[in-house]
Structure 1
Amino acid sequence: MAKDLVVILTALNVEYQAVRRKLAGPQVHRHKRGTLFEVGTVQGTSCRIALGLTNKGNHSAAVIAERAIQEFSPVAVLFVGVAGALWDTARLGDVVMATHVYAYHGATSEDDGTKARPRVWETAHGVSQLGSHLARANDWADDTSGHGRAPQVRFGAIAAGEVVQNSKISAEARWIRQHYNDALAIEMEAAGVAQAGHLNGAPVAIIRGISDRADGTKSSANDRNWQPRAAANAAAFATRLAVELVGEREQIAVSEADRAPTADRLEEHVSNTAHNSTVGIMAGSVRGSTVYVNADAKVTRPADLVAELDAFRGHLKRHHAEGALDEDTYREALAELGFACRAARENTAERSKRATMALKRLRGLIADCPELAAMLAPLVVAAGDLS
């Protein structure tokens, strides 16, 4: 998995260009299906960004997000751009980072009216915490000389649908403000990206600059004025967040390396604690009273991983029988598990990546079952260690 790369996606070219201006040395990267990304580093840092354009709409955004996750195995996916404000809480130019995303077009039409049936995705806790920390530090914004006050970061729900909203009095506008009155902003891509992240086990953050009020005052002239400014503010916050996410991941990796037992530590520990005792080891050899540990030995071999994945199928079946997994989730989970097993059995250079991505998608499906997620975690790590 890439420890130093974050995917940033945008829907509009003005948003894309706002992010691209923050990058040094962007190089074109072509997905096998023809989708083009540009990979560069945030200026002045070692944080790599894979930048892609999805075009408008949740469906297109979901497809491109899935491709980006499969292609880059990123630390996180950030969707960055502009949005309309639903209330006066967020002013033009402010940045809204979603705490959760509503797919507000989920509903049922009945004789007494339209009833909301939204899907909802929450932003990962760690990503939200970093975003809040950056907002408190308040040193992320570019120079706003000539643009009045500095932009502020707001945290709250974002509503994602399939139409451009530009009214306060239309039936749909009133319905949205009635049923989603905690949503700060409204746009057209966040639900698709959130779903792709959920299914692939990738953290997602939605970051939007407010360019209009979605209240009938949106116009081409106002868009030409506010869209570039709002997009630039969102890009500034998002790239800073990306740098923090990569830095945090690197710190975690260093901490885990420090805690990992080396051969010298293991030999010293066993020598000090196992004299005249029976010692069980998973790798290495014992000669007389000395234990020799092979530091290069893999604890989990492909055959071991396949066996553990087969055993995990039984845990899925049990949770399904107990009602913890619904039928659709159970079937999708079995499919991803089967894909991971097949990949682990392959004798190819890609098997580690293929098995890891399948298990990450499985992790997203079972995220609401802590017991299963805990069982799966070491298998994801083992898949990444396949050589």
Structure 2
Amino acid sequence: MSNGPVVVLTALNLEYQAVRQRLVDLQPHRHKHGTRFEVGTVRGTSCRVALGLASKGNNSAAVIAERAIQEFSPVAVLFVGVAGALWDTARLGDVVIATHVYAYHGGTSEDDGLKSRPRVWEAPHGLSQLASHLARLNDWADPTPGHEGVPQVRFGAIAAGEVVQNSRISTEAQWIRQHYNDALAIEMEAAGVAQAGHLSGAPVAIIRGISDRADGTKNSADDRNWQPRAAANAAAFAARLAVELVVEHEETAMSGDDKAHSADQFGRRVTNTAHNSTIGIMAGTVTGSNVHMTAVPKAPGPMDLVAELNRFRERLGRHLAEETLDEDTYREALTDLDSAIRSVGATTPESSKRTVMTLKRLRGLVAEHPALSAELAPMVAAAGDLA
């Protein structure tokens, strides 16, 4: 289980500053390839946040999101900023949380027209449930002097493309209305971040404040007035969500520790039974008739994990033979498995981290196969313990 921070990424400096204002004790963090982050805590809490600027576009957002996930092994990734509303379904200043993300530019051009071939990523169930809970509590928004009405939180699809959408009547607008009319908002980064999270096994939430209506009025004076307010609203909800994610993560970790004595490092149930036997124990101290135990659990060894990974390889082969796993996924999974096995033996902090990230990526790759994904979870935890 990750002990990392919550990663928050934005596309614009205005959005970055809106999040940054909610953090304290900021320290710079430089990735080895030059990407700069700031790591701090949400004001008044112990929630750690790694904040980064991804720049515009799905491609850039995907690269920086993947880099942040590998660098920090985060509890979750939140992409925070502004977006345009579609079909007047959301008011200016409202916050839209993506239940799923459309990469709407996929298609095939044929003699009878352009046919849609979208990709879609659903938000993780637990993360969506937590966001819905916080929206019902309705205690996240900052009071805004001089403005009536509290921003609402809306849940629905977000469309992510590769161009700035600013028309109701353009060919692009008609295409979106025809094929993606359930989308509440439109922007240019969510698909890249969602894909990076999917492949890396990191939960992702897309949080957007509505700053315009994508209807030809973008860059107007009214739009410039709403951008900072929409960014501030998205940042406020993201900060609240980040805090609750960390609290929930810590509670889950504590619950797992309570149950750890009944399972080995790979999650297999262990039962010890003695009948009419004399049992020898090693005690830390003995006071009267009370024995005070000092347990020293055995750390998982590299060969234990290698053996589990090789057994997992056999299970992948069975899924391929049963045609429940396609050939491309199988080959990608074998590549990740080989990479993980090679890095297990080094047992250094860097190699351990590399193994964890490779196994997380593998878990994302087989996410559509719950049985396989569940088998990888204890291996990820065991890999983190090796160093």
User: Does structure 1 retain, via aligned residues, the 8 Å contact 2:217–2:223?
Assistant: no
Taking a change above 3 Å as real, the CA distance of residues 298 and 351 of structure 1, as seen in their structure-2 partners, is: farther
Cα deviations by residue, 1:23-56 (Å, 9 ceiling, x for unpaired): 0121110000000001110000000110000110
In the TM superposition, 1:1-387 aligns within 5 A as 2-3=2-3, 5-261=5-261, 273-276=273-276, 288-290=278-280, 295-298=295-298, 300-387=300-387
Cα deviations by residue, 1:163-208 (Å, 9 ceiling, x for unpaired): 0000111111001011001100000000000000001000000000
1:358 counterpart letter in structure 2: T
CA distance in 1, matches of 2:4, 2:111: 53
CA distance in 1, matches of 2:157, 2:308: 39
CA distance in 2, matches of 1:60, 1:289: 61
User: Does structure 1 retain, via aligned residues, the 8 Å contact 2:4–2:72?
Assistant: no
1:290 counterpart letter in structure 2: G
CA distance in 1, matches of 2:84, 2:242: 24
More moved, 27-36 vs 1-10: 1-10
Count of residue pairs the alignment pairs up: 369
CA distance in 2, matches of 1:58, 1:276: 66
Deviation at 1:330, TM superposition (A): 1.5
3-state SS of paired residue (2:126): helix
User: Does structure 2 retain, via aligned residues, the 8 Å contact 1:168–1:215?
Assistant: yes
User: Does structure 1 retain, via aligned residues, the 8 Å contact 2:302–2:386?
Assistant: yes
User: Does structure 2 retain, via aligned residues, the 8 Å contact 1:351–1:386?
Assistant: no
User: Does structure 2 retain, via aligned residues, the 8 Å contact 1:4–1:246?
Assistant: no
CA distance in 1, matches of 2:281, 2:305: 26
More moved, 29-38 vs 318-327: 318-327
1:107 counterpart letter in structure 2: G
CA distance in 2, matches of 1:294, 1:309: 31
Deviation at 1:101, TM superposition (A): 0.3
3-state SS of paired residue (1:382): helix
CA distance in 1, matches of 2:195, 2:221: 34
The corresponding residue for 1:284 is none
CA distance in 2, matches of 1:373, 1:68: 22
CA distance in 2, matches of 1:241, 1:380: 25
CA distance in 2, matches of 1:198, 1:213: 29
Cα deviations by residue, 1:248-287 (Å, 9 ceiling, x for unpaired): 001111112223339xxxxxx96xx51336xxxxxxxxxx
The ranges of structure 1 where at least 4 consecutive aligned residues each deviate by more than 4 angstroms after the TM superposition are 291-294
More moved, 335-344 vs 373-382: 373-382
1:289 counterpart letter in structure 2: I
The corresponding residue for 2:267 is none
Deviation at 1:384, TM superposition (A): 1.6
1:301 counterpart letter in structure 2: G
Deviation at 1:4, TM superposition (A): 5.4
Cα deviations by residue, 1:315-372 (Å, 9 ceiling, x for unpaired): 1122122222222222211111111111111142322211111110000000111121
CA distance in 1, matches of 2:134, 2:87: 23
CA distance in 1, matches of 2:329, 2:149: 48
CA distance in 1, matches of 2:224, 2:88: 21
CA distance in 2, matches of 1:139, 1:33: 39
1:334 counterpart letter in structure 2: L
1:233 counterpart letter in structure 2: N
Q: Structure 1: which 5+ runs fail to align?
A: 263-268, 278-287
The corresponding residue for 1:285 is none
CA distance in 2, matches of 1:370, 1:362: 13
User: Does structure 2 retain, via aligned residues, the 8 Å contact 1:2–1:72?
Assistant: no
User: Does structure 1 retain, via aligned residues, the 8 Å contact 2:97–2:207?
Assistant: yes
User: Does structure 2 retain, via aligned residues, the 8 Å contact 1:201–1:360?
Assistant: yes
TM-score, normalised to structure 1's length? Answer: 0.92
1:198 counterpart letter in structure 2: H
User: Does structure 1 retain, via aligned residues, the 8 Å contact 2:23–2:40?
Assistant: yes
User: Does structure 2 retain, via aligned residues, the 8 Å contact 1:101–1:121?
Assistant: yes
User: Does structure 1 retain, via aligned residues, the 8 Å contact 2:299–2:386?
Assistant: no
User: Does structure 1 retain, via aligned residues, the 8 Å contact 2:347–2:386?
Assistant: no
3-state SS of paired residue (1:350): helix
CA distance in 2, matches of 1:67, 1:245: 21
CA distance in 1, matches of 2:69, 2:141: 28
User: Does structure 1 retain, via aligned residues, the 8 Å contact 2:92–2:210?
Assistant: yes
User: Does structure 1 retain, via aligned residues, the 8 Å contact 2:141–2:151?
Assistant: yes
1:185 counterpart letter in structure 2: A
1:8 counterpart letter in structure 2: V
The corresponding residue for 1:281 is none
CA distance in 1, matches of 2:135, 2:222: 27
Deviation at 1:291, TM superposition (A): 5.2
User: Does structure 2 retain, via aligned residues, the 8 Å contact 1:3–1:246?
Assistant: no
Percent identity, aligned pairs only, is 74
